[in-house]
């Protein structure tokens, strides 16, 4: 068989017979705005990085945030703890109108460290989410095992209605972070509200959430804060579809800034019916071992698998953000993007293949980019395109098949092209040599790979880039040595 390396080549010079498929990228047709990609360091998972030696700490942070050494992630999701050992209000003020006593340790299980570092390294959004209200505000008088917030639709408590007290509590958390120099951009008050977990957990449906949302909104506004409200971090996409419809029916969508969902019990396959931007805020391989395998069998822990999930979220569900569960932690399984093993100066920091799947999107598709129209991809190739605010056009191609795919790009005035790829032959994203010839670019996508192209327009051609179609000609390539 004839073998082609992972470099851009001019198809006309190959002298090969190719079955051609034309792909069009039309920057004149736009879809959702992209907020970014991210992760969480909840439950103290990030403490290993905070306490690591300087060089290993820097390495771990660079894997998360650097656009050259790591994934360039731009969203951090924090947990607002409800358990008495970590919450900012461990003791009940006896009644909803009682004066609360807040406790703050300036650390918040390493989340202050992570938030400060994240901002310094380019993170745009910090999302603080409460898994539950403190137990004394709930119908089961426990921060664990479900229970409802006292006072929401259909739920009463002998102690009274705690909705305003809960709103005050969340605003206090935001203000405590502000005192530490960290702005909280979005706040959530539920996490997997259909699941009565044996850790911080609070139940709700969309109608009950809607009875609290306006109270929280007014409390945030009265405090002079700009923090937006997110809801509801459902355990599965299908549940979030239902919650969102209930919130809209209760006329509470107007008070929200983002709709948020997890993908554990059901993945997204179509958009949620809402006018708001939608985030997938938690999904991960919770069961397998930590893995650096890019592709072997299509397993859950492999990088190519997650590249396709991210594509699915962005293109099929119109997601504005896609988040993994854990960023970096010690002795992680596949639920973490980065693992730290050993201790002290012997600490080893290792990135997973899933981190590199994120990198193929998040390094190059920056916050406030917009997804643009594509059509005509061959059966084994997922293609998505985005335009950044600086005018660059990013085209991500995922070859899901075992054969190479030859592609050529043309129809646009391009001053330069940069390309990067990830497959089994490299341990991290690598440069994919790009050559321009007569306004045309051509490439051979390796089997089981992701290739990301960043196209820069010529000076003075901005209008053409913004409104004109870009044609990508894609060929099925099976070349016998005798040709």
pLDDT tens-digit map of 92-145: 999 999 999 999 999 999 999 999 999 999 999 999 999 999 999 999 999 999
Question: pTM of this prediction?
Answer: 0.93
Closest CA to 189 of 209, 162, 214: 209
Q: Do 314 and 40 meet the contact criterion of CB atoms below 8 Å apart?
A: no
Cis? peptide before 232, omega within 30° of 0 = yes
DSSP letter (8 states) at residue 51: T
Q: Which three-class secondary structure state does DSSP give residue 170? A: helix
pLDDT tens digits, one per residue of 401-452: 999 988 776 555 668 889 999 999 999 999 998 677 666 677 889 999 999 9
Residue 465 has pLDDT above 70, yes or no: no
Across 302-431, the runs of DSSP E, i.e. the strands, are 321-330, 336-341, 348-351, 369-375, 381-387, 393-399, 405-410, 414-422, 430-431
Mean per-residue pLDDT over the chain, rounded = 90
Residue 462 has pLDDT above 60, yes or no: no
Q: Is 351 exposed, middle or buried (0-12, 13-18, 19+ CB in 10 A)?
A: buried
pLDDT tens digits, one per residue of 322-342: 999 999 999 999 999 999 999
Alpha helices in 80-201 (DSSP H): 111-120, 163-179
Q: Give the Cβ contact number of residue 3 at 10 Å.
A: 8
DSSP letter (8 states) at residue 329: E
Domains of the chain plus CATH, in order, are: 11-31+370-476 (2.60.40.1180), 36-367 (3.20.20.80)
pLDDT at position 1, please?
Answer: 25
Residue 17 has pLDDT above 60, yes or no: no
**Could you tell me the two tokens for 213?**
């949302």
Q: Do 380 and 445 meet the contact criterion of CB atoms below 8 Å apart?
A: no
Q: What angle do CA 285, 286, 290 make, to 5 degrees?
A: 70
Residue 356 has pLDDT above 70, yes or no: yes
d(CA 324, CA 264): 11
Q: Which helix (H) or strand (E) holds 20?
A: strand 19-34
Give me the mean pLDDT over the 299-327 stretch: 98
Q: Give the Cβ contact number of residue 375 at 10 Å.
A: 12
Handedness of CA 314, 317, 321, 322 (dihedral sign): negative
Q: What angle do CA 400, 369, 260 make, to 5 degrees?
A: 80
DSSP letter (8 states) at residue 272: -
Q: How many residues does the chain have?
A: 483
pLDDT at position 415, please?
Answer: 80
* Residue the block writes with tokens 């239902």: 242
């Amino acid at each position: 068989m004839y073998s082609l390396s992972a470099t851009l080549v001019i198809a006309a010079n190959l002298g090969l017979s190719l079955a051609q498929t034309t792909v069009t990228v039309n920057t004149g047709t736009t879809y959702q705005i992209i907020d970014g990609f991210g992760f969480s360091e909840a439950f103290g998972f990030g403490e290993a990085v905070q306490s690591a030696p300087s060089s290993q700490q820097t390495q771990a942070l660079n894997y998360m945030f650097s656009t050259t050494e790591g994934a360039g992630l731009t969203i951090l999701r924090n947990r607002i703890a409800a358990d008495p050992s970590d919450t900012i209000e461990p003791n009940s003020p006896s009644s909803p109108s009682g004066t609360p006593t807040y406790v703050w340790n300036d650390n918040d299980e390493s989340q202050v460290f992570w938030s400060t570092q994240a901002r310094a390294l380019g993170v745009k959004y910090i999302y603080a989410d409460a898994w539950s209200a403190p137990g004394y505000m709930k119908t089961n008088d426990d921060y664990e095992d479900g229970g409802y917030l006292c006072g929401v639709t259909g739920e009463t408590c002998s102690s009274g209605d705690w909705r305003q007290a809960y709103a005050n509590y969340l605003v206090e958390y935001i203000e405590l972070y502000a005192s530490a120099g960290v702005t909280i951009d979005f706040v959530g008050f539920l996490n997997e509200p259909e699941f009565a977990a044996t850790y911080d957990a609070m139940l709700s449906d969309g109608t009950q959430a809607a009875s609290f949302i306006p109270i929280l909104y007014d409390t945030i506004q009265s405090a002079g804060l700009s923090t937006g409200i997110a809801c509801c971090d459902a355990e599965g996409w299908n549940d979030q579809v239902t919650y969102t419809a209930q919130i809209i029916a209760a006329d509470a969508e107007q008070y929200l800034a983002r709709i948020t969902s997890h993908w554990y019990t059901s993945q997204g396959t179509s958009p949620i019916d809402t006018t708001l931007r939608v985030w997938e805020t938690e999904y991960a391989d919770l069961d397998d071992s930590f893995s650096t395998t890019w592709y072997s069998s299509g397993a859950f822990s492999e990088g190519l698998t997650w590249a396709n999930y991210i594509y699915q979220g962005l293109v099929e569900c119109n997601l504005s953000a896609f988040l993994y569960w854990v960023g970096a932690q010690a002795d992680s399984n596949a639920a973490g993007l980065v693992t730290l093993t050993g201790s002290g100066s012997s600490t080893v920091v290792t990135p997973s293949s899933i981190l590199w799947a994120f990198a193929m999107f998040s390094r190059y598709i920056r916050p406030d980019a917009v997804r643009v129209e594509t059509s005509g991809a061959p059966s084994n190739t997922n293609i998505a395109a985005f335009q950044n605010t600086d005018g660059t056009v990013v085209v991500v191609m995922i070859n899901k098949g075992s054969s190479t795919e030859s592609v050529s790009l043309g129809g646009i005035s391009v001053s330069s092209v940069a390309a990067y790829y990830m497959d089994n032959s490299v341990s991290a994203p690598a440069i994919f040599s790009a050559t321009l010839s007569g306004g045309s670019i051509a490439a051979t996508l390796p089997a089981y790979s992701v290739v990301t192209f960043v196209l820069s327009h010529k000076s003075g051609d901005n209008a053409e880039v913004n409104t004109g179609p870009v044609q990508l000609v894609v060929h099925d390539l099976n070349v016998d040595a005798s040709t």
